[in-house]
Chains A and B, each alone.
Chain A
Amino acid sequence: GAVVSQHPSRVICKSGTSVKIECRSLDFQATTMFWYRQFPKKSLMLMATSNEGSKATYEQGVEKDKFLINHASLTLSTLTVTSAHPEDSSFYICSARVAGRYNEQFFGPGTRLTVL
C-alpha cells in the first residue's frame, strides 16, 4: 500500500513552453502533498506544500507564478512549470502525506525535466 505515482517520468520541452507534472496517490487519500526539486548529486529541496482544496504554501525563493501547484482532489496534485527555461531542468519529486500514520510521507518515482 501507500503507492505514489508521477507522470510523466521524463519530459523534454522547448524553452518558453509550459509543462505539467502529475502526482497521484494510488491507494490512499493524501490531504497533503509535497513537491521537491533535486539538482544533480544534491539533496532534495522542498519547493511547496499543497493541501487539498487550498492554495499551496511555497518555500522562500520559489516563484509561485512560475511553479503553479494545484491540489484538486485527495489523490491528485499537479505541478506546472510555466514558461520553462533551461535552468528549470531538474528532477522533480512529489510525496504524499498519510494522516494518522505518524504523518509519514511516501515518495513518487520522480520526473526528469529537460528544457532545451
Chain B
Amino acid sequence: AQSVAQPEDQVNVAEGNPLTVKCTYSVSGNPYLFWYVQYPNRGLQFLLKYITGDNLVKGSYGFEAEFNKSQTSFHLKKPSALVSDSALYFCAVRESTGAGSYQLTFGKGTKLSVIP
C-alpha cells in the first residue's frame, strides 16, 4: 500500500522569506511524486512532479521540490514567498508500475499562509 504524510497542518511564513512544505511517502516500488495547489473553492492545480532523472524538480510559480530516496521525502520549496502563494498544498504519490500505479494517494494537505 502507498501512503503520503504531510506532517504540518499549517505553515506560516513572512513574505519574502523562503518556504518549505514537507512531504514523506511510502511505496513498495519506485515512486512518482506530485505537488498540487488548491485555492478556496477551486480544483487542484498541478505544480510539479518527479518521475525520473534529476532529483531537483522545478515547477510552476517558482516552486521546486527535491526527491530524496533515502529519506523518502519530497519537500516543496520556494526561495521567496509571496502573499499570493497562500493556499492549500497537497503532496501525492503513486507507484511507477504495478497495482499501485493506477491511483494517486494524497496527503492530508498543508495550509500555507504567507504574512505580508
Contacts and interface: CB of A to CB of B under 8 A. Distances in A.
B4 to A, nearest CB: 9
Nearest to B9: A41
A42 B109 contact: yes
A74 B111 CA distance: 35
Interface residues of B, number: 21
B103 interface: yes
Interface of B: 32, 36, 41-46, 49, 51, 90, 94, 101-104, 106-109, 111
A45 to B, nearest CB: 9
Given A107-B36, A110-B43, 12 more contacts: A41-B109, A42-B108, A43-B108, A43-B109, A44-B44, A102-B51, A103-B94, A105-B104, A106-B46, A107-B43, A108-B43, A110-B42
A99 to B, nearest CB: 11
B43 A109 contact: yes
B22 to A, nearest CB: 15
Given A42-B108, A42-B109, A43-B90, A6 B43 contact: yes
B36 to A, nearest CB: 7
A112 interface: yes
Contacts of B32: 102
B108 A112 contact: no
Nearest to A38: B38
16 contacts: A6-B43, A34-B103, A41-B111, A42-B108, A44-B90, A49-B103, A95-B44, A102-B49, A102-B51, A103-B101, A103-B102, A106-B46, A107-B44, A107-B46, A108-B43, A109-B43
Contacts of B44: 44, 93, 95, 107
Contacts of A42: 108-109
A58 interface: no
